[in-house]
């Protein structure tokens, strides 16, 4: 499934000149939500050193501090103030992302913003507002998917804090989030979310492996590798259904017949998943919630954005001899190419240079 991560679109500069009232309202909720979080930051070192800090929180902050140090020292990720403070936001998700796609297309709808470019979602600090937006998009005839988000990034524009929502999993999950978000501060290409997310996932996965090996936690490394294998199986399963749907959408037939075929393809996806879960995965049920919830083009498109180019980035990392500075330099060079040339160069790369 796609990472629970989203770029925060902040109003910077002359927003009221650049956009109409609706967009200004959207920027205002983004900015106000972010500023509310920033005003509640607590320094991680102080929390660790404060005798009044509850022991579970102190333990979390100690692990987070070690992960943050590893990110800069061993992965050459930015050594700045991001993820050196903490905020308990008191809810399950920090934001909610709204994805949309046409009824008979897997191409997601994009929204464009100053500074951050065009992205295939809109993020909201209010769940109610996200759901309201989703309903409006549904009334336009679009497939819609709303996803809760556990972490977000301002790409280094502000010193992003650790959030209580980032501690919902184990320490490996936390490391993955920190490495992923800091990777976006290292390389970010406007208007190419698939490139940006796949690059960050490549840094995340290679970084977590290196971190677990360095810590000597073989059991956690084994669990992580097993999780990556399941994730790859999931991505292939979804890709197969996307290919089935693409043929349905491009083929002949009436609107009603396409709807029937679409529904049948999604039913088949669920059936294939259950078979894979009960045989290959030995009953592992971690993806059940994803398949039990509604599945549509928006949800499938959101998943593909975060996964399609990951293998190519991992291969490039290996071509760079697992040297992070060389890898980042190679990705920077790709980022300067035109989008079509960028994707082709990434897929066909034979050297790091």
| Per-residue pLDDT of the chain in tens (353 residues, 90 and over written 9) | 344 444 444 433 333 333 344 566 777 788 888 889 999 999 999 999 999 999 999 999 999 999 999 999 999 999 999 999 999 999 999 999 999 999 999 999 998 877 677 888 888 999 999 999 999 999 999 999 999 999 888 888 889 999 999 999 999 999 999 999 999 999 999 889 889 999 999 999 999 999 999 999 999 999 999 999 999 999 999 999 999 999 999 999 899 999 999 999 999 999 999 999 999 999 999 999 999 999 999 999 988 877 888 999 999 999 999 999 999 999 999 999 998 899 999 999 999 98
Overall number of domains in the chain: 1
Cα pseudo-dihedral 238, 193, 9, 117, rounded to 10? -140
Q: What is the pTM assigned to this prediction?
A: 0.90
Is residue 9 one of the residues assigned to a domain?
Answer: yes
Residue 159 lies in a domain: yes
Q: Which two tokens stand for residue 150?
A: 């556990």
- Joined tokens for residue 289: 């919630």
Task: Tell whether 245 is covered by a domain.
Answer: no
Res 223: pLDDT: 96
Domain presence at residue 235:
no
Is 84 within the bounds of a domain?
Answer: yes
Give the per-residue pLDDT at 12.
38
| Helix/strand/coil for 189 | coil
How high is the pLDDT of residue 157? Answer: 83
Q: At what angle do helices 193-215 and 218-250 cross, to 10 degrees?
A: 160
**What is the model's pLDDT at position 311?**
92
| 18 inside domain | yes
Residue 20: the pLDDT is: 40
The reported pLDDT for the residue numbered 115 is 65
Do residues 230 and 238 make contact, with C-beta atoms less than 8 angstroms apart? no
Q: Is 270 within a domain? A: no
Instruction: Supply φ then ψ for residue 78, to 5 degrees.
Output: -50, 130
**Is residue 204 included in any domain, yes or no?**
no
141 Rama sector, left if φ>0, alpha if ψ -120 to 50, beta otherwise = left
Q: What is the per-residue DSSP string for 243-306?
A: HHHHHHHHS---HHHHHHHHHHHHHHHHHHHHHHHHTTTTT--TTHHHHHS---HHHHHHHHHT
pLDDT at residue 313, as a whole number: 96
Q: Which residues contact 143 (CB under 8 A, 6 or more apart)?
A: 100, 101, 102, 103, 296, 297, 298, 299
Q: Which domain holds residue 27?
A: 5-190
> Quick one: pLDDT at residue 1?
39
């Amino acid at each position: 499934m796609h990472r629970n991560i989203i770029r925060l679109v902040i109003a910077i500069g002359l927003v009221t000149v650049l956009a109409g009232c609706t967009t200004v309202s959207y920027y205002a909720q983004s900015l106000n939500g972010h500023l509310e979080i920033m005003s509640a930051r607590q320094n991680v070192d102080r929390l660790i050193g404060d005798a009044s800090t509850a022991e579970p929180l102190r333990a979390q902050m100690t692990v987070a501090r070690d992960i943050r140090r590893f990110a800069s020292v061993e992965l050459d990720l930015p050594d700045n103030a991001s993820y050196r403070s903490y905020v308990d936001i008191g809810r399950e998700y920090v934001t909610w992302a709204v994805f949309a796609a046409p009824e008979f297309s897997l191409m997601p709808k994009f929204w464009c913003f100053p500074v951050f470019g065009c992205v295939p979602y809109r993020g909201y600090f209010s769940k109610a507002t996200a759901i309201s937006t989703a309903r409006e998009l549904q009334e336009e005839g679009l497939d819609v998917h709303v996803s809760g988000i556990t972490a977000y990034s301002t790409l280094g524009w502000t010193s992003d804090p650790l959030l209580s929502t980032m501690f919902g999993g184990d320490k490996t999950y936390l490391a993955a989030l920190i490495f992923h978000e800091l990777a976006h501060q290292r390389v970010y290409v406007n208007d190419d979310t698939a490139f940006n997310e796949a690059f960050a996932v490549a840094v995340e996965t290679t970084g977590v492996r290196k971190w677990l090996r360095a810590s000597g936690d073989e059991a956690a490394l084994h669990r992580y590798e097993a999780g990556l294998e399941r994730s790859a199986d999931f991505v292939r399963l979804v890709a197969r259904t996307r290919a089935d749907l693409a043929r349905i959408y491009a083929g002949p037939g009436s609107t009603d017949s396409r709807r029937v075929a679409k529904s049948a393809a999604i039913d088949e996806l669920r059936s294939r998943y259950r078979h894979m879960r009960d045989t290959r995965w030995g009953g592992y049920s971690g993806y059940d919630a994803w398949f039990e919830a509604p599945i549509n083009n928006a949800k499938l498109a959101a998943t593909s954005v975060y996964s399609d180019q990951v293998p190519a980035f991992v291969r490039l990392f290996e071509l760079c001899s697992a040297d992070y500075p060389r890898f980042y330099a190679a990705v920077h060079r790709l980022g300067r190419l035109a989008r079509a040339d960028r994707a082709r160069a990434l897929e066909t790369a034979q050297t790091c240079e």
